[in-house]
Amino acid sequence: MNYRHSFHAGNSADVVKHSLLIALVRALQLKPGALTLIDTHSGCGLYDLDGDQAQRTGEAAGGVLRTLADSNPLLNDYRAAVQAVNVGSEPHLYPGSPRILAQLLRLQDLLILNEKHPEDARVLRGAMRDTLAAVHERDAYELWLAMLPTRTGRGVVVVDPPYEQTDERDRITATLAAAYRKWAHGVTVIWYPLKDRATHWRWREQLSKLGIPKFMSVEHWLYDRDQPGIYNGAGLFIVNPPYAFIQALPPLLEALRAALAPEGHRGEITADWLVV
């Protein structure tokens, strides 16, 4: 699957991913201790919704534009994050995870970004020039392990690959196993696309065998039944989600489902634990 993000910026997967990422970091920041935020597949950091690639797919219409028009106050933090990189009421730019995370930083927090693709890394440095983020240009899985344990006592690793390689899930599984051995108390967030339930459930079973006791899965299915051969939704695996995040999750998920459900479909968004 090719998921070059400039074609998909601001789609429903971004809305869910970034809404939950904001809620997760905010929950961790209820404690004053410093956080290290690490984004292993950072992309370009900022995306032009009026550009040719975004316009070619038009996916922002079913994602960020629909969410900005929604009135549910539980989505206010997400809407504010998008509006922070735009002037006026109409969004022309979409903030990727690097810009979202940069907005959340406190003085004591650190932000480490990584993008292996040379051209995207160059654009990322430009997009982050007004922040204190450190930008690396390394293999994502090598950097993931090299940065652990984090310099601060607590941290979050965000893993958001394009799933262009057939062994992407295997690399994530192997690296997560090694990372957990080095940093068992850390928070890890892994984004994934949903194309068919059978493939996804096989991966879930593989991950459940890692023996990680606090391992959550959030799944957002757009349609009431699988649409063969197309993007059906996306989800997040979250290792060690904080208690405050877990408590606030049910109403936030319902707000996201209601805002993003395609016409004629109710959609489904659920959170459960991988069985160890």
pLDDT for position 227: 60
Q: Are 192 and 235 in contact (CB under 8 A)?
A: yes
132-161 pLDDT, tens digit each: 999 999 999 999 999 999 999 999 999 999
Lowest model confidence (mean pLDDT) among 105-119, 180-194, 226-240, 260-274: 226-240
CA torsion 229-21-145-233 (nearest 10°) is: -10
For the domain made up of 5-273, give the CATH fold. Rossmann fold (3.40.50)
pLDDT for position 58: 83
Query: Residue 1's pLDDT band (boundaries 50, 70, 90)?
Result: very low
Active-site positions read: 160
5-30 pLDDT, tens digit each: 777 889 999 999 999 999 999 999 99
- Give pTM, 2 decimals: 0.94
Spatial distance between the Cα atoms of 198 and 57, rounded to a whole number of angstroms: 26
pLDDT for position 128: 97
Extract the tokens encoding 109. 């927090």
169 vs 6, more confident: 169
Q: Are 11 and 54 in contact (CB under 8 A)?
A: no
Q: Which of 119, 134, 185 is nearest to 155 (CA)?
A: 185
66-101 pLDDT, tens digit each: 999 999 999 999 999 999 999 987 899 999 999 999
Residue % of the chain over a pLDDT of 70: 95
pLDDT for position 228: 58
Return the domain boundaries, the chain: 5-273
pLDDT for position 260: 95
pLDDT for position 110: 98
Q: Which of 56, 51, 39, 60 is nearest to 114 (CA)?
A: 39
